[in-house]
């Protein structure tokens, strides 16, 4: 069985979308894969409740209990490794990871980011998009590299930006697409249809599936 470990920091709607897809598509049978555990760096993360309600093991590694990034990441690594991950999914995980952590999971750790990278890395992506006046915005799933939000892109979903959009309306439109894109990318990586090779994404066999989604 391939274990998927999810790291979260808050609401957990991407985690929920992933769990829904795994159940709907019966990943335990079709992919021999399961979400093996959920780890949050925040004790109050709502996503912990979502995971617990489905009987998943949850853990909190509170970054505030650590005096350095190195010590937090070492504790996180220990917790992740205990779950024997095939794949680590950053599903709304809001901490910058050290190089040692990134190296350990090179090619088997992916992140969902709410912009069409390489535009608008970092925080407040919807505000950045509105300020830049772009007409198209979206979400990206990528392998995690040493560059913040800069790793090899797996898939993207684009949405229109409307003239009357606020950060909130735009964020909601993008989030709905994240919920489609992330499970799809996770599945393709677990299937071995998409993999990481020397810092690039290689598509082996996406079986007619598009990694570019266009949402409304
Ligand atoms: C998502 O927009 C994700 O892309 C970003 O933070 C948000 C997390 O939302 N990194 P949720 O916790 O998955 O609901």
Selected catalytic residue, list 63, 66, 113, 137 = 113
Tell me if residue 113 is catalytic. yes
Predicted local confidence at residue 215, as pLDDT: 85
**What is the H or E stretch that residue 210 is in?**
none
Angle between helices 46-53 and 13-24 (to 10 degrees): 20
Question: Distance, CA 111 to ligand 1 centroid (Å)?
Answer: 10
| 175 pocket-lining for ligand 1 (C-beta < 6 Å) | yes
With a 6 Å cutoff on the Cβ, whether 112 touches ligand 1 is yes
Say yes or no: CB of residue 14 within 6 Å of ligand 1.
yes
Q: Return the best residue to mutate from 7, 8, 9, 11 for the ligand 1 pocket (most ligand atoms within 8 A of CB).
A: 11
Q: From the centroid of its chain, how far is CA 24?
A: 19
pLDDT at site 37: 98
pLDDT, position 216: 66
Tens digit of pLDDT at every position of the chain (216 positions): 999 999 999 999 999 999 999 999 999 999 999 999 999 999 999 999 999 999 999 999 999 999 999 999 999 999 999 999 999 999 999 999 999 999 999 999 999 999 999 999 999 999 999 999 999 999 999 999 999 999 999 999 999 999 999 999 999 999 999 999 999 999 999 999 999 999 999 999 887 888 899 986
Strands 153-160 and 136-143: antiparallel
Can you list the positions of beta strands (E) in the chain? Answer: 2-8, 33-40, 58-60, 85-90, 109-113, 136-143, 153-160, 194-197, 200-203, 212-214
pLDDT in the model for residue 209 = 86
Residue 64, burial from CB neighbour count under 10 angstroms (0-12, 13-18, 19+): exposed
Query: Whole-model pTM above 0.95?
Result: yes
Q: Is the CB–ligand 1 distance for residue 138 below 6 Å? A: no
Cα separation, 67 vs 44, in Å, equals 20
């Amino acid at each position: 069985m391939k274990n998927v470990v999810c790291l979260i920091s808050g609401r957990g709607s991407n985690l929920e979308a992933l769990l829904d897809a795994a159940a709907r598509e019966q990943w335990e049978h079709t992919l021999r894969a399961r979400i093996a555990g959920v780890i949050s760096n925040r004790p109050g993360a709502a996503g912990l409740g979502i995971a617990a309600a489905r009987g998943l093991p949850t853990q909190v590694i509170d970054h505030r209990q650590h005096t350095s990034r190195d010590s937090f990441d070492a504790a996180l690594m220990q917790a992740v490794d205990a779950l024997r991950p095939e794949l680590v999914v950053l599903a709304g995980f809001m901490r910058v990871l050290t190089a040692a952590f990134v190296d350990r999971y090179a090619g088997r750790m992916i992140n969902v980011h709410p912009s069409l990278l390489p535009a608008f890395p970092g925080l407040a992506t919807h505000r950045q998009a509105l300020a830049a006046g772009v007409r198209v915005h979206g979400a990206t799933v990528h392998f995690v590299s040493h560059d913040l939000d800069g790793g090899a892109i797996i898939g993207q979903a684009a949405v229109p930006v409307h003239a009357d959009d606020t950060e909130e309306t735009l964020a909601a439109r993008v989030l709905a697409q994240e919920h489609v894109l992330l499970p799809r990318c996770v599945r393709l990586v677990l299937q071995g249809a998409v993999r990481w090779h020397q810092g690039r994404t290689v598509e082996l066999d996406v079986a007619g599936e598009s990694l570019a989604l266009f949402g409304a």
